[in-house]
């Protein structure tokens, strides 16, 4: 898999995409409804940014019934994975990333067996 550095850093430069990537990095796999709840943005807004990340190859998706679950693409080159890990280490204690994690943790009725709230 080939990822252009300018595309990666362009993706990281957008707050919504960065927040999605950081949540996915820490949670392994999340449904769109979980990302929407955690970030506090509309479903179309989150879905549009996830589609851009998927087009770049940074995330992959899995459909289960009506729901779509996203994860960091496991086929990413090592250097891309290293960049994401270093970014996560550098910003994990900063807002809005801490609030995103807290909102996700406190989300009622998180998806179980493909069922979103």
| Residue 117 lies inside a defined structural domain of this protein | no
For 17-39, the pLDDT digits (tens) are 999 999 999 999 999 999 999 99
Confirm if 68 and 53 have CB atoms less than 8 A apart: no
Mean per-residue pLDDT over the chain, rounded:
93
Q: Could you give the number of structural domains in the chain?
A: 1
Cα distance between residue 73 and residue 102, in whole Å: 24
3-state secondary structure of 117: coil
| Residue 114 lies inside a defined structural domain of this protein | no
| Residue 31 lies inside a defined structural domain of this protein | yes
Q: Please report, for the domain that includes residue 63, its CATH number.
A: 1.10.10.10
The structure tokens listed for 43 are 């479903």
Confirm if 54 and 76 have CB atoms less than 8 A apart: no
* Domain interval for residue 60: 5-105
Q: Which helix (H) or strand (E) holds 39?
A: helix 32-39
Consecutive 10-residue averages of pLDDT for the chain (117 residues)? 94 98 96 96 97 97 90 97 97 96 92 55
């Amino acid at each position: 898999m080939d990822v252009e550095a300018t595309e990666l850093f362009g993706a990281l430069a957008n707050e919504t995409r960065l927040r999605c990537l950081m949540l996915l990095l820490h949670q392994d796999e999340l449904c769109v409804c979980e990302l929407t709840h955690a970030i506090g943005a509309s479903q179309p807004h989150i879905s549009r940014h996830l589609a851009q990340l998927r087009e770049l190859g940074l995330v992959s998706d899995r459909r289960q019934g009506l729901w779509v679950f996203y994860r960091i693409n496991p086929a990413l080159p090592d250097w891309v994975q290293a960049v994401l890990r270093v970014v996560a280490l550098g910003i994990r204690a900063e807002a809005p990333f801490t609030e995103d994690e807290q909102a996700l943790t406190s989300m009622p009725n998180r998806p179980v067996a493909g069922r979103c709230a």
